[in-house]
Chains A and B, each alone.
Chain A
């Protein structure tokens, strides 16, 4: 479940430290469903179901349920194994303030990858 994101990230001290200068809110869309993810100093403080509008979010990551499901496999197929790969092959759209995403790219890659092996793929 997407709600596990907070526990997964916050339990990872190295990942939280990497995001220690980051305060933002981004929208994570998985097929028809969307969540608003709030980051405060690298910790995920809220994961809330939300409408699909980008609203007050800095940026949105949008992909189909199938694409995220493959990304969250333990060993994803080529092209589904990385956010930039997903984006290149147009499975993922990154909209909004791209600079927040790019300047913390490793953080966001690791945050999303933290849901691997959590059953979220099913």
Chain B
């Protein structure tokens, strides 16, 4: 095979996040409307490789994905070695807004999956004016733990092995083999306790059931895409949001699981592109007006 480079570029950004200095890894590709992508719990921005490498997206969108602190190639902040990592709603929202400000993104589209889909709901509730549109992948208002989360981080169980094995069934059964295993590899590479720390937000702190119905889609459009085989955020969890939020649009993706952009990028893009085309058309209209 002839070697080739992708159009994706990665850089390290130094900034203060949540009041502490951080070194954050940021990837991007394309130009146009900023599309900020948020990865799932315990993984990193590589999940969006398919979106970043599709010219149908990058000719009109500047796709950006950052690895959250503690994830991927972003380091935890100095002092991490004596801390227990636990993601909270407040920190997660703050982090996203601070990264947007640092990158000088003007009204981006935000697209997040799983914990990223949940925080997208928080953003729709509390900061709709900051975004052009919000795309929630595998987004539900709450998730109950369905296994003993302590197994994700204990010295007598291999963290990489269990994190990969726990999420393996969340991938749709028809996903291409290479993408299925790439998706699991990201989990196997996670730092000790990081997946579990993210799930504190997903299963405890990030619950928005009591207020999700107050999302105002007139302030910011909300699109929801959820895979049929996801048993963490089920199709029913997403459809419940669509029923309670006026103007929210939900689509269930046939055969797919919890990591659509990573487990089967080609199929996912067939669902995403019509949404991006509508966002693009709306941008043209508002420019014309």
Which A residues have a C-beta under 8 Å from some C-beta of B? 75-76, 78-79, 81-85, 87-89, 98-99, 102-103, 105-106, 109
Known: A78-B231, A98-B148, A102-B151. A83 touches B162 (CB 8 A): no
Complex-state Cα separation, A55 to B158, whole angstroms = 28
Complex: A84 Cα to B162 Cα, angstroms: 12
Q: For A81, A87, A99, which residue has the most chain B Cβ atoms within 10 angstroms?
A: A81
Which one of A76, A78, A85 has the greatest number of beta carbons of chain B within 10 Å? A78
A88 to B146, CA, bound (A): 5
B interface residues, how many (CB within 8 angstroms): 21
Q: Is the CB of B147 within 8 A of A81?
A: no
Q: Which of A79, A99, A106 contacts B157 (CB 8 A)?
A: A99
- Once A75-B174, A98-B148, A106-B161 are accepted as A-B contacts, the answer to whether A84 and B169 lie under 8 Å apart by CB is yes
Write the nearest CB–CB distance from B145 to chain A, whole angstroms: 10
Q: Once the chains are docked, how many angstroms separate the CA of A103 from the CA of B163? A: 10
Q: How far is the CA of A106 from the CA of B187 in the complex (A)?
A: 13
When distances are taken between beta carbons in the complex, the residues of chain B under 8 Å from A102 are: 147-148, 151, 157, 162
| Cβ-defined partner of B146 (8 Å) among A75, A81, A84, A105 | A84
If A84-B169, A84-B231, A99-B151 are given as contacts, then 9 extra A-B residue pairs at C-beta distance below 8 Å, sorted by A number, are A78-B229, A81-B229, A82-B169, A85-B169, A98-B148, A102-B147, A102-B148, A106-B168, A109-B165
B112 to chain A, nearest CB (A): 22
A84 touches B147 (CB 8 A): yes
| Min C-beta distance of A107 to chain B, whole Å | 8
Q: Is the Cβ of B148 less than 8 Å from the Cβ of A106? A: no
Q: Which of B158, B169, B229, B235 contacts A109 (CB 8 A)?
A: B169
Contacts of A87 in B (CB 8 A): 146-147
Given the complex, which residues of A lie within 8 Å of B170, measured CB to CB?
A: 82
Judge if B228 is at the interface, Cβ distance under 8 Å.
Answer: yes
Contacting A at CB under 8 A, from B222-266, are 228-229, 231, 235
Minimum CB distance partner of B163 in chain A: A105
A85 to chain B, nearest CB (A): 4
7 A-B pairs in the complex with CB atoms less than 8 angstroms apart: A75-B173, A81-B173, A82-B168, A84-B231, A85-B169, A103-B157, A109-B165
In the complex formed, the residue of A with least CB distance to B151 is: A102
Q: Does B104 contact A (CB under 8 A)?
A: no
B164 at the interface (CB under 8 A from A): yes
| B interface residues, Cβ below 8 angstroms from A | 146-148, 151, 156-158, 161-162, 164-166, 168-170, 173-174, 228-229, 231, 235
Name the B residues within 8 Å of A89 (CB-CB): 231
CB distance from B128 to the nearest CB of A (A): 32
Least Cβ–Cβ distance between A78 and chain B, in angstroms: 5
Determine the distance from Cα of A78 to Cα of B156 in the docked complex, in whole angstroms.
Answer: 32
* B165 and A85 contacting across the interface, CB-CB below 8 Å: no
The distance in angstroms between the C-alpha atoms of A106 and B166, with both chains bound, is 8
Most A-side CB within 10 Å, residue of B156, B166, B173: B173
CA distance A99 to B151 in the complex (A): 8
The distance in angstroms between the C-alpha atoms of A17 and B141, with both chains bound, is: 41
B261: shortest Cβ distance to chain A, in Å? 19
The 4 closest A-B pairs by CB, nearest first: A82-B169, A105-B165, A106-B165, A88-B146
Q: Are A106 and B169 in contact (CB under 8 A)?
A: no
A100 and B161 CA atoms in complex are apart in Å by 13
Tell me which of B146, B147, B164, B165 has the highest count of chain A C-beta atoms within 10 A of its own C-beta: B165
B168 to chain A, nearest CB (A): 7
Question: Once the chains are docked, how many angstroms separate the CA of A78 from the CA of B166?
Answer: 16
In the complex, what's the smallest C-beta–C-beta distance from A10 to chain B, in angstroms? Answer: 21
Bound: A78/B170 CA distance, A: 10
Complex: A88 Cα to B158 Cα, angstroms: 22
Q: Which residues of B contact A99 (CB under 8 A)?
A: 151, 156-157
Say whether B147 contacts A78, CB under 8 Å. Answer: no
